[in-house]
Structure 1
């Protein structure tokens, strides 16, 4: 997947999740088989703002040319996604969440790995760029 496609997919997913968590937290909580409550709903609404920030960052970075800044966005997003996948896996193994979290884990792994792959492709492409040789007269 291209960096642009990853950014568009990531921005769309995080924007939708942000909206759901802000407007109707019990929907996502039920998917994970978690009980609600005021404390949980306050924290999910706060998390929705973090997801909105990720969505905006990915949307604005979608057309970025290979650069250190693009690499930072890709690596930062990969760390976030793979960290969430790891936490989800630990929680499912502990029995803290239901099987609905498997969809989230799969999505996070695909996006995280995709962003890491895009940085590898950028490095590979930059190493193939031919540098002009000086001409002898």
Structure 2
């Protein structure tokens, strides 16, 4: 298999677009997400942290968009490992913040999406590896 699978291309593209949307929301309307998590937007500290997160989400989106056609390789594996790590740590952080009462149950959909994206990337990469081994 010399090229990325269709599943990897679609997943990377979808994830990139999702992260671009999150970057825009964090940059222009951080109060929207924070309100859904039950966090008061004070315009100061929470606004600053939210706006500073926006470029990180945008950067991850760019990496995924540029990697979407990359064939399986150590570099692409590094991109996937970084993305999976990011998603799982965000999910763990969200659950931890919910457990101690810093956020409300509105964080659960974000956690579920983060876990689903991590698992989807792991599944697609594993399937590509199996296809390469058998083909």
Per the alignment, residue 6 of structure 1 pairs with: 11
3-state SS of 2:54 partner? helix
The reply to whether residue 100 of structure 1 matches residue 106 of structure 2 is yes
Instruction: Give per-residue Cα distances to partners, 1:33-84, cap 9 Å, x unaligned.
Output: 1112201101110100100000111111111111111111111111110111
Q: State the TM-score, normalized to the length of structure 2.
A: 0.89
Larger Rg over CA atoms:
1
Question: Match of 1:100, SS?
Answer: helix
Structure 1 gaps of 5+ residues are 130-137
Q: Given the alignment, which residue of 54, 61, 70 partners 1:55?
A: 61
Query: RMSD over aligned Cα, in angstroms?
Result: 1.4
Greater RCO structure (CA 8 Å; 6+ sep): 2
TM-score normalised by structure 1 residue count: 0.88
CA contact (8 A) 1:75 1:115 kept: no
Moved over 3 A (4+): none
2:72 corresponds to 1:66 = yes
Per the alignment, residue 124 of structure 2 pairs with: 118
Structure 2 residue aligned with 1:17: 22
The CA deviation at 1:128 is 2.1
1:4-35: CA deviation from partner (whole Å, max 9, x where unpaired): 12111211111111001101111111011111
Deviations 1:70-115 (A, max 9, x none): 1111111111101111111111122211111111011001101111
